[in-house]
Amino acid sequence: MSEPETPPSGPGKAPEPSGVDLARVALRAAREAARARGDVAQQKKQARRGGGLRSGARADRRDPMPLGPAINRLIAERGWEAPAAVGGVMGRWPEIVGEDVAKHCEPERYDEDERVLVVRCDSTAWATNLRLLAPTLVARLNEDLGHGTVRLIKVNGPGGPARRYGPLRAPGSTGPGDTYG
């Protein structure tokens, strides 16, 4: 923006700045000084962070990552590949074993050291059926997760009713839980 010129007040004399013109010049000088101080402060702040000046045009290790790659990197760094894969299987259980089996049998836990998947069934008949299907399921799971991830499927039947402790119990008796399993 150009400054309006005032007509010369006399022959050969330079125009004298008015109060408004002086204020504009002072304001411009103050803005430039503040901008320079801000640039210096920003450079010092970035230098303290160890980065120096950043252009922002290129990828940098300090740039934020999308959530998926960040989680994948964390899983790889911590060595959680097998537990994370088995956790995914537990979420996709109906797809792997079929809807009918999934209605009656559900995975409970995975022992990473023993490579054993523990499954609980809602009846002894379904537990027996799943024990017969276990070798096929182990093969299917290892095909999906990688060879040797699941070595054995341990099938548990339904839990018995809650045990009631009271004065009419015989010492050492396990009660009606003896018939379950």
Query: 103-161, pLDDT tens digit by residue?
Result: 998 888 888 888 888 999 998 899 999 999 999 988 988 887 777 788 899 999 887 66
Burial class (CB in 10 A: 0-12, 13-18, 19+), 59: exposed
CA nearest neighbour of 108 among 130, 124, 93, 97:
93
33/129: higher pLDDT: 129
pLDDT at 174: 64
pLDDT at 92: 82
pLDDT at 135: 92
Residue 181's pLDDT band, with cuts at 50, 70 and 90, is: very low
What percentage of residues in the chain have a pLDDT greater than 70?
Answer: 70
Are the CB atoms for 144 and 157 separated by under 8 Å? no
Mean pLDDT across the stretch 8-27?
Answer: 69
Report the distance separating Cα 86 and Cα 145, nearest Å.
7
Over 60: is that where the pLDDT of 40 sits?
A: yes
Give tens-digit pLDDT for 75-110: 888 887 777 777 777 778 888 888 888 899 888 888
What percentage of residues in the chain have a pLDDT greater than 90?
Answer: 9
108 SS3 class: strand
14/40: higher pLDDT: 40
Report the distance separating Cα 71 and Cα 181, nearest Å.
40
Cβ neighbours of residue 79 closer than 8 Å, sequence gap 6 or more: none
Give tens-digit pLDDT for 56-81: 677 777 778 888 888 888 888 888 77
